Amino acid sequence: MTNNTETPKKVKTKKSLSLITWLIIIVGIIATIVIWLMAKPPITVVKNTAPSGFSVQGVAINQTSGYVDYNNLATNGIDFTYLRATSGVTFADDGYQASYDRAQGAHLKVGSIQVYDASVDAATQAQYFIDKVGNNIGQLPIAIYVTNDQIATKSSKERLAVLIQSLSTHYNRDIVIYTTPNVQQQLNQVIKKTKYWLIADNTDNRATANQFIQYSEDHTIGKGLKAVKMPTSVFNGTRQQFKEIK
């Protein structure tokens, strides 16, 4: 009888110990998960804000930019990209179409850049751009990049005016002159209706003639390993006006 009465007590003690052990294990697991979740940094999408007073910004891309992750740009506050397509009649970016497709795929508005060459007549330059780019000019005004040395004479300014008219007529699209304040001042008396994409190191000149303003040559976009430096510009208007431009 003695053996029979002691056996149930031992079994009960083992069951109690087993239950306590499992409770300790479960509590330990829960505590570990809670600590891990609290220590893990939150997953966020980094949004670079545009300069004060502006809501839309974008970048300028050329062949020296290398491979560009347009989705990375789109998730870091970039709304549009301009791609350099041609220069005079001597250069066409062979990566233009691939960049164009990837930028479109990232849902960025796209624009094309033609570099003006005063040594070539306007009709030839316009046709070269048309042949190389076709209808893949995006949704933004066509940009013509102009440097100071290309407008040294009256005839070079007039040739630029003809190029602007030729491309605008062919594509039924507005043109914007991508240049510095110095060149803008020299062109004001010759080309009066075309708007500008002003190259500066600030956003101070917000005159309505400046449709875009490049405020940094090497603005940092993104953070960490995906951070890139690029020429960055703002659209000089509201987000609604940006949707409506062409």
pLDDT in tens, 189-246: 899 999 999 999 999 999 999 999 999 999 999 888 889 999 999 999 999 999 998 6
Sign of the Cα torsion 202, 203, 208, 211 reads: positive
The per-residue pLDDT for range 181-192, each reduced to its tens digit, is 999 999 998 999
57-244 sits in which CATH class?
alpha beta
| Interval 40-44 mean pLDDT | 42
Q: Give every CB contact of residue 48 below 8 A, 6+ residues apart in sequence.
A: 57, 76, 77, 78, 221, 222
Which tokens belong to 219?
């603005």
